[in-house]
Amino acid sequence: MQRQTTIAKTHEIQRKWYVIDAAGKPLGRLVSQVAQILTGKNKPIWTPNVDCGDYVIIVNAEKVSLSGDKLHNKKYYNVSGYNGGLRTRTAKEMIEKYPVEMVERSVHGMCPKGRLGRQIEKKLFVYAGPDHKHEAQQPEVLELKF
Protein backbone atom coordinates (compact mmCIF):
# COMPACT_ATOMS: atom_id res chain seq x y z
CA MET A 1 0.00 0.00 0.00
CA GLN A 2 1.44 3.35 -1.06
CA ARG A 3 0.90 6.54 0.86
CA GLN A 4 -0.10 9.66 -0.96
CA THR A 5 2.02 12.77 -0.52
CA THR A 6 -0.11 15.86 -0.06
CA ILE A 7 0.94 18.90 -2.06
CA ALA A 8 -0.30 22.24 -0.72
CA LYS A 9 -2.26 24.33 -3.17
CA THR A 10 -2.17 28.10 -2.96
CA HIS A 11 -5.93 28.59 -2.72
CA GLU A 12 -6.31 26.01 0.09
CA ILE A 13 -3.80 27.56 2.50
CA GLN A 14 -5.20 29.07 5.71
CA ARG A 15 -3.04 31.99 6.85
CA LYS A 16 -2.92 33.41 10.36
CA TRP A 17 -1.50 36.65 11.74
CA TYR A 18 0.95 36.59 14.66
CA VAL A 19 2.41 39.37 16.81
CA ILE A 20 5.84 38.75 18.31
CA ASP A 21 7.40 41.01 20.93
CA ALA A 22 11.15 41.25 20.29
CA ALA A 23 12.01 43.04 23.54
CA GLY A 24 14.97 41.37 25.22
CA LYS A 25 15.06 38.43 22.79
CA PRO A 26 18.32 37.39 21.04
CA LEU A 27 18.22 38.50 17.40
CA GLY A 28 19.38 35.24 15.79
CA ARG A 29 17.06 32.96 17.74
CA LEU A 30 14.10 35.28 17.19
CA VAL A 31 14.70 35.58 13.47
CA SER A 32 15.23 31.85 12.86
CA GLN A 33 11.84 31.04 14.37
CA VAL A 34 10.18 33.93 12.49
CA ALA A 35 11.65 32.63 9.22
CA GLN A 36 10.15 29.19 9.90
CA ILE A 37 6.71 30.71 10.49
CA LEU A 38 6.97 32.88 7.36
CA THR A 39 7.94 29.94 5.15
CA GLY A 40 5.35 27.63 6.73
CA LYS A 41 7.81 24.97 7.92
CA ASN A 42 5.95 24.79 11.23
CA LYS A 43 2.86 23.41 9.44
CA PRO A 44 2.27 19.79 8.41
CA ILE A 45 1.23 20.89 4.89
CA TRP A 46 4.57 22.58 4.09
CA THR A 47 5.59 22.25 0.46
CA PRO A 48 8.97 23.58 -0.72
CA ASN A 49 7.69 25.31 -3.87
CA VAL A 50 4.54 26.88 -2.35
CA ASP A 51 4.29 29.81 0.06
CA CYS A 52 2.51 28.11 3.00
CA GLY A 53 3.53 30.55 5.71
CA ASP A 54 1.68 32.94 7.98
CA TYR A 55 1.92 36.70 8.48
CA VAL A 56 4.25 37.93 11.25
CA ILE A 57 4.29 41.32 12.96
CA ILE A 58 7.40 42.05 15.04
CA VAL A 59 7.11 44.89 17.57
CA ASN A 60 9.79 46.48 19.79
CA ALA A 61 12.56 45.83 17.24
CA GLU A 62 14.66 48.52 18.91
CA LYS A 63 14.84 46.42 22.11
CA VAL A 64 16.27 43.26 20.51
CA SER A 65 19.43 41.96 22.17
CA LEU A 66 22.75 40.73 20.82
CA SER A 67 25.04 38.41 22.76
CA GLY A 68 28.75 38.86 23.34
CA ASP A 69 30.49 41.87 21.80
CA LYS A 70 28.42 41.80 18.60
CA LEU A 71 27.10 45.27 19.36
CA HIS A 72 30.54 46.70 18.53
CA ASN A 73 32.10 44.04 16.29
CA LYS A 74 29.24 43.06 13.95
CA LYS A 75 29.20 45.15 10.78
CA TYR A 76 26.51 45.85 8.18
CA TYR A 77 27.66 46.81 4.69
CA ASN A 78 26.03 48.76 1.87
CA VAL A 79 27.69 49.35 -1.50
CA SER A 80 26.46 52.09 -3.82
CA GLY A 81 28.35 50.81 -6.85
CA TYR A 82 30.60 53.85 -7.13
CA ASN A 83 34.31 53.93 -6.26
CA GLY A 84 34.62 54.40 -2.51
CA GLY A 85 30.87 53.77 -2.16
CA LEU A 86 31.17 51.22 0.65
CA ARG A 87 29.30 52.24 3.79
CA THR A 88 29.92 50.32 7.00
CA ARG A 89 27.72 50.49 10.10
CA THR A 90 28.06 48.68 13.42
CA ALA A 91 25.21 46.77 15.04
CA LYS A 92 24.99 49.44 17.75
CA GLU A 93 24.43 52.13 15.12
CA MET A 94 21.84 49.94 13.36
CA ILE A 95 19.86 49.34 16.59
CA GLU A 96 19.89 53.04 17.48
CA LYS A 97 19.01 54.45 14.03
CA TYR A 98 17.64 51.62 11.86
CA PRO A 99 16.21 48.82 14.06
CA VAL A 100 13.56 47.84 11.50
CA GLU A 101 16.12 47.41 8.72
CA MET A 102 18.36 45.33 10.99
CA VAL A 103 15.60 42.81 11.75
CA GLU A 104 14.41 42.73 8.13
CA ARG A 105 17.95 42.02 6.90
CA SER A 106 18.32 39.19 9.39
CA VAL A 107 15.05 37.59 8.27
CA HIS A 108 16.06 38.03 4.63
CA GLY A 109 19.24 36.07 5.29
CA MET A 110 17.22 33.10 6.60
CA CYS A 111 14.51 33.04 3.91
CA PRO A 112 14.88 31.28 0.56
CA LYS A 113 16.32 33.37 -2.24
CA GLY A 114 14.51 34.03 -5.50
CA ARG A 115 10.91 34.70 -6.45
CA LEU A 116 9.41 32.61 -3.64
CA GLY A 117 11.66 34.22 -1.01
CA ARG A 118 10.58 37.72 -2.04
CA GLN A 119 6.94 36.64 -1.82
CA ILE A 120 7.53 35.18 1.65
CA GLU A 121 9.30 38.32 2.92
CA LYS A 122 6.28 40.49 2.03
CA LYS A 123 4.37 38.84 4.89
CA LEU A 124 6.77 40.31 7.49
CA PHE A 125 5.96 43.61 9.20
CA VAL A 126 8.52 45.09 11.62
CA TYR A 127 7.95 48.05 13.93
CA ALA A 128 10.51 49.77 16.17
CA GLY A 129 8.01 50.55 18.93
CA PRO A 130 5.22 48.63 20.66
CA ASP A 131 2.42 49.80 18.32
CA HIS A 132 1.39 48.36 14.95
CA LYS A 133 -1.39 49.13 12.46
CA HIS A 134 -2.72 45.60 11.87
CA GLU A 135 -5.42 45.39 14.55
CA ALA A 136 -8.08 44.73 11.88
CA GLN A 137 -6.46 41.36 11.10
CA GLN A 138 -6.90 40.28 14.77
CA PRO A 139 -3.38 38.89 15.19
CA GLU A 140 -2.60 36.32 17.87
CA VAL A 141 0.20 37.03 20.35
CA LEU A 142 2.86 34.38 19.87
CA GLU A 143 5.36 33.59 22.63
CA LEU A 144 8.52 32.06 21.25
CA LYS A 145 10.47 29.58 23.32
CA PHE A 146 14.27 29.70 23.37
Confidence (pLDDT) at 139? 97
| Residue 145, pLDDT score | 86
How would residue 127 be classed by pLDDT, with cut points 50, 70 and 90? Answer: very high
Answer whether residue 49 is part of any domain: yes
**Is 117 buried (19+), middle (13-18) or exposed (0-12) by CB count in 10 A?**
middle
Question: What number is the average pLDDT over the span 92-111?
Answer: 97
- List the domain range (segments joined by +) for residue 119: 16-66+98-141
Q: What CATH number is given to the structural domain containing 110?
A: 3.90.1180.10
| Count of domains for the chain | 1
- Cβ-contact 51, 27 below 8 angstroms: no
Q: How many CB atoms lie within 10 A of CB 89?
A: 17
> Would you say residue 50 lies in a domain?
yes
Which pLDDT belongs to residue 143? 94
CA atoms of 91 and 100, how far apart (whole Å): 12
Q: What is the DSSP letter of 135?
A: G
At 4 the pLDDT is 83
Q: What is the pLDDT of residue 6?
A: 83
Query: pLDDT tens-digit profile of 4-59?
Result: 888 899 899 999 999 999 999 999 999 999 999 999 999 999 999 999 999 999 99
